Structure 1
Amino acid sequence: MTPHENDIYRWEWKDGLSPIVGCYAHLAVFADGALRDTYWHDWRTQSHIDLEKVELTLLGNIDDYREISRWEAVYYDPADIIDMRHANNSNATVYLLKSATKSPEHMLEIADGKMRQAYGDIIRAEDQIKYLEDTIARIKAGDLEVSL
């Protein structure tokens, strides 16, 4: 595989080639002629990774994507998104394929999940109300050994 400028990769160390220590996002961009892990905020000036020591999975090329706000991702097929966020940069860029259109299937999946969560919230609230009604009745009856 020949990397091109602005290619984005997931990467892993080849067997036996991992350094003993190091901080890595395992998400890298080929920039300025080098593969650069994005763990550090100033990754463009450091984090050079030896291509001979890693297995690469191409995610896409930045030039084919546009930046979006992370809240917009729910409207699109996850296959059209490259999410650069990781443990050391939760505000990193989220990219959307320029040719992507909103995905009714994914939007329905998200809406269905939120609806199931809301129904669960109702059940938990009803259970909590019942428990508190019983607790209030016990307190009024003089039983102060209750859990609030």
Structure 2
Amino acid sequence: MREQDVYRWQWKDDHNHLASYCCYSQICVVWKGELYDTYCGVLTERSRLNQDEVEIEFLGNQDDMIKLLAGSENYYRPEDVVDMRHPNNRRAPIYLKRGAERDADVMLAWALNAIEENQMQARAAQNRIKALQDAVKLIESGRLEEVYV
């Protein structure tokens, strides 16, 4: 293990951990030869992991990767991206493994999915507009007890 290596981790035996995964990101970084979970953001004793108690999967080394702007990870294959974000730090870095290139299949799937999501949002907005227009008609006709928007 090298300084700044990044791993995804899980407990070898979940039954021995009362807190299980509470307050852990399941992403760890090597610092001074030890593994530290990134959830707390500060390398504390509580975030230090015992290597004998966890299974780790190497993701990359921070010094060997390129930082990406959030959103541009959608251009690359998932195995080429190391996303450090987690529920306690949505602004954590996203890294790209050196030599990785944009992938047409990934980009196409992302774009098609984004189109579908935006179409659903547009339909929802149209439905909401229609409901509000109906409410306006009820209000204008004095039928206030029938208005629920």
TM-score by length of 1: 0.81
Deviations 1:44-86 (A, max 9, x none): x643322112111111222331112222212222211111112
Give matches, 1:60-79, under 5 Å. Answer: 60-79=60-79
Equivalent in the alignment of 1:125: 125
The answer to whether the 8 A contact 1:17-1:53 is kept is: no
Gaps spanning 5+ residues in structure 2: where?
A: none
| Alpha-carbon distance in structure 2 between the residues aligned to 1:53 and 1:81 | 26
Amino acid at match of 1:6: Q
Helix, strand or coil: the match of 2:143?
Answer: coil
Equivalent in the alignment of 1:143: 143
| Alpha-carbon distance in structure 2 between the residues aligned to 1:104 and 1:143 | 55
Amino acid at match of 1:64: D
Amino acid at match of 1:14: K
| Alpha-carbon distance in structure 1 between the residues aligned to 2:38 and 2:24 | 7
Aligned length: 145
Equivalent in the alignment of 2:38: 38
TM-score by length of 2: 0.81
Equivalent in the alignment of 2:85: 85
Quote how far apart the aligned CAs of 1:13 are: 1.9
Equivalent in the alignment of 1:7: 5
| Alpha-carbon distance in structure 2 between the residues aligned to 1:104 and 1:5 | 34
Question: How has the CA–CA distance of structure 1 residues 142 and 35 changed in structure 2, closer, same or farther, with 3 Å as cutoff?
Answer: closer
Counting aligned pairs with the same residue, the percent is 36
Gaps spanning 5+ residues in structure 1: where?
A: none
| Alpha-carbon distance in structure 2 between the residues aligned to 1:132 and 1:12 | 49
